[in-house]
Amino acid sequence: MYEGLMVSVSGIRGRVGEALTPEVVSGFAAGFGAWARSRGNGRSIVVGRDSRVSGPMFHRAVLAALQSVGCDVIDVGLAPTPTIQLAVEHHHAAGGLAITASHNPIEWNALKFIGPSGLFLDSTDAAAMREVAQGSFHSTFPCRTRLRARRGRRDHPRAARATGLRCDRHQSRDRRQISEAA
């Protein structure tokens, strides 16, 4: 679904500006916040980041996304991942997000998902959270053509209108609207 994005139990990572964009980070952060709140462990999410150049950009995207789904953010600023994990436990938060690509090259960044215990999500929780995140991503950004458009690809919505090409999701919506009108 996310070309070039590496998705694992501990989180997502990718090259900044390619697979990992503020839109992708926002979608996953909103999904994580909604998932964490739905589990009944409160509204607070701890957020911290490392010192990568892309950190401030993703930090702002994460804060906005979490607040958009009703989370209270505890921002610990620049901090190593274990400190963020301990802060989740200390504050009895619903979870935490670490914006860090750890040992990966500098042109990469990542989101690490931390559960209410202060540990990374297990495979079951990670899968459930990704389902929520994917739903969140599609409700926030209705189709991948908008993201591709920003990267100069041919399937830009304006190009699609000019050429008559539509993504599968919009074709399905068009067919529904036509059948409802008939």
Taking the CA atoms of the chain, what radius of gyration do you get in angstroms? Answer: 18
DSSP state letter for 45 = E
Q: What share of residues in the chain are helix, strand, coil (percent, to 5)?
A: 50, 20, 35
Catalytic residue among 10, 102, 136, 172: 102
Q: Is 136 a catalytic residue?
A: no
- Give the H or E element holding residue 56: helix 55-68
Give the three-state DSSP class for 26.
Answer: helix
- CATH fold of 6-141 reads Alpha-D-Glucose-1,6-Bisphosphate; Chain A, domain 3 (3.40.120)
| pLDDT digits (tens), the chain, 182 positions | 678 999 988 899 999 999 999 999 999 999 999 999 999 889 999 999 999 999 999 999 999 999 999 999 999 999 999 999 999 999 999 999 999 999 999 999 999 999 999 999 999 999 999 999 887 554 444 444 343 444 444 444 443 443 344 455 555 565 565 556 65
Domain map (residue ranges) of the chain: 6-141, 155-181
The pTM of the whole model exceeds 0.85: no
